[in-house]
Homo-oligomer: A and B are copies of this chain.
Amino acid sequence: MNYSRQREEVLEQLNVHHDHPTADVIFSELRDKDPNISLATVYRNLKVLAENGIIRKLTFVSGADHFEPNVNPHYHFICDCCGKVCDVPMQVAETLDATASSYINGTITGHDLVFYGKCDDCCNSEDSSD
């Protein structure tokens, strides 16, 4: 993997986010800084960065894939209303893997845990003001 300015930009832009942006969010943000960067380049680099374990691709959201810079195992919350994804900084329940192992044939290497519900913003705006 050679150095490339564009890959650096993609990684930097992802690091700016605390939400979990999609490829085209990263793309349109980068376009402002670097008007020549291509959508394919953004997809390509997000893919290769994820394959090399430098970032993480989240596939559990319906529609477009999301990306995050934090590759340490952790859990997520998705708002049913607005689709927002955020981290849940609770402890990872490693015992789950062992438990699940005894219920299936094969080897378990890890798990994803995703909570669903309604985020604070959506709760507050549901039946009040605007």
Chain A residues within CB distance 8 Å of chain B:
59-62, 65, 75, 77, 79-80, 86, 88-90, 93, 96-97, 99-100, 102-120, 122-123
Contact = CB atoms under 8 A, between A and B. Distances in A.
A107 B106 CA distance: 35
A113 B76 CA distance: 11
Nearest to A57: B62
A114 B111 contact: yes
Given A60-B59, A90-B99, A103-B90, A115 B119 contact: no
A109 B113 contact: no
A126 B65 CA distance: 29
The 5 closest A-B pairs by CB, nearest first: A105-B120, A60-B60, A59-B62, A108-B117, A106-B119
22 contacts: A59-B61, A62-B65, A75-B100, A77-B106, A88-B100, A88-B103, A88-B104, A90-B99, A93-B96, A96-B115, A97-B115, A105-B119, A106-B118, A107-B117, A108-B115, A110-B116, A110-B117, A111-B113, A111-B114, A112-B112, A112-B116, A113-B113
